[in-house]
Amino acid sequence: MIIEHVVPPPVDLGNRRIERLVLTSAEMAKHRQRGVTDAGREVGIALPHGSTLRDGDVLHLDEMLAIVIQQAEEELLRLLPRTPSEFALAGYQVGNLHRAAMIDARAVTVLYDKAVEALAERWQIPFEKGRGRFRPVQNSGHVH
């Protein structure tokens, strides 16, 4: 099965059988790829250039079946700055390493990375490791 577009919301899944295609954050950013649903169905994705997938997107919908994207949980590293200047330093250093990050009022979170962990230890910024869905701040056009 080749998927060329995401079913636009809102989508009523009704009593359809639901198959999930579990993707990492990196895979969700790809507009062309292959995958296998949790039921073993092979799926090819060929979306328009620049498309990204989101948790809960419906890739296929017919009378009996819905194929839905599920974002995988991944290993994360949460930097937990204690002061505004530590927060700025953490954000600057993560950006300087060109790592994608989730940013909220309490933390700068990246996919687990030994270099970022070493950076946090060097600058004595508290951190914690854990699992979760990685949804980074999106780039707004900057390229190298």
- The predicted-structure confidence for 68-111, as pLDDT tens digits, reads as follows 999 999 999 999 999 999 999 999 999 999 999 999 999 999 99
Question: Can you give the residue ranges of every domain in the chain?
Answer: 2-71, 74-132
**pTM metric for this prediction:** 0.85
Q: What is the pLDDT of residue 126?
A: 98
Q: What is the pLDDT of residue 143?
A: 54
User: In whole angstroms, what separates CA 14 from the centre of its chain?
Assistant: 27
Q: What is the pLDDT of residue 144?
A: 54
Q: What is the pLDDT of residue 50?
A: 87
- Averaged pLDDT score across all residues of the chain: 94
Contacts 24+ apart (CB under 8 A), 82-85: 82/126
CATH superfamily of this structure's domain 2-71 = Urease metallochaperone UreE, N-terminal domain (2.60.260.20)
* Banded pLDDT at 141 (limits 50, 70, 90): low
Q: Is 74-132 a domain of CATH 3.30.70.790? A: yes
Which residues of 38-107 form beta strands (DSSP E)? Answer: 42-46, 58-61, 65-71, 74-79, 102-103
Judged against a pLDDT cut of 90, whether residue 137 lies above it is answered with: no
